A and B are shown apart, each in its own frame.
Chain A
Amino acid sequence: GENVEQHPSTLSVQEGDSAVIKCTYSDSASNYFPWYKQELGKRPQLIIDIRSNVGEKKDQRIAVTLNKTAKHFSLHITETQPEDSAVYFCAAGTGNQFYFGTGTSLTVIP
């Protein structure tokens, strides 16, 4: 099956700074790469996703980039705010098989 690695495991940034989370995957057949945000005690929720036919996607302060050749993808959050503090998960897969990274705990310091 797919193996997804995610770094860093924890990340602290000052409010207003940018945050970057990186993931690598092993299966070249993977064609779908979603990112989920999980606040404390709540369910993971999709924040952005990208498919393999696209190299970059942006939604307001959030952007995701994909490098299929190198098998890595990244989440970029600009102008971070305290409410961005949460655990972020990347995932990779095809069809209805999704494999998650190990999560990044992001803390935005006011």
Chain B
Amino acid sequence: DTAVSQTPKYLVTQMGNDKSIKCEQNLGHDTMYWYKQDSKKFLKIMFSYNNKELIINETVPNRFSPKSPDKAHLNLHINSLELGDSAVYFCASSQDGAADVGNSPLHFGNGTRLTVT
């Protein structure tokens, strides 16, 4: 029973297209994230959502828009895809903790490999 699941696993598309990646977590976690991993394996946070509120947006182009219909889902929509968007996108979630305890670790999905041609 997959804790954090994202679809599709592979996505090949042409420049200029619009695409979405879906993510669902069944852990009951409060916060969900999107990370981008480029060809050099750098893991860069793009967004996080806590109780349907965006709390981080790390200099990501506005072509990328996260959409969270509920606490268990955080989808990523990308407009006007560019070659540089090719990467692996990971969804993740964590459980909020008390201030003195801190949050739970990140649980990652299996990733979506996006290739823009």
Contacts and interface: CB of A to CB of B under 8 A. Distances in A.
Interface of A: 1, 31-32, 34, 36, 38, 42-46, 49, 51, 87, 89, 91, 94-100, 102-103, 105
A16 B31 CA distance: 39
B110 A42 contact: yes
A46 B102 contact: no
A94 B102 contact: yes
Given A42-B110, A43-B108, A103-B43, A96 B103 contact: yes
19 contacts: A32-B102, A36-B106, A42-B110, A43-B90, A46-B106, A87-B41, A91-B106, A95-B96, A96-B48, A96-B50, A96-B96, A97-B48, A97-B56, A98-B94, A100-B42, A100-B44, A100-B45, A102-B41, A105-B41
Contacts of A34: 105-106
B66 interface: no
Nearest to B55: A96
| Most chain B beta-carbon contacts within 10 A, residue among A31, A43, A87, A102 | A43
B43 A89 contact: yes
B43 to A, nearest CB: 4
Nearest to A51: B102
Interface string B93-117: 0101000001101111111000000
B58 to A, nearest CB: 7
| Most chain A beta-carbon contacts within 10 A, residue among B48, B56, B58, B102 | B102
A87 B56 CA distance: 26
A91 B33 CA distance: 15
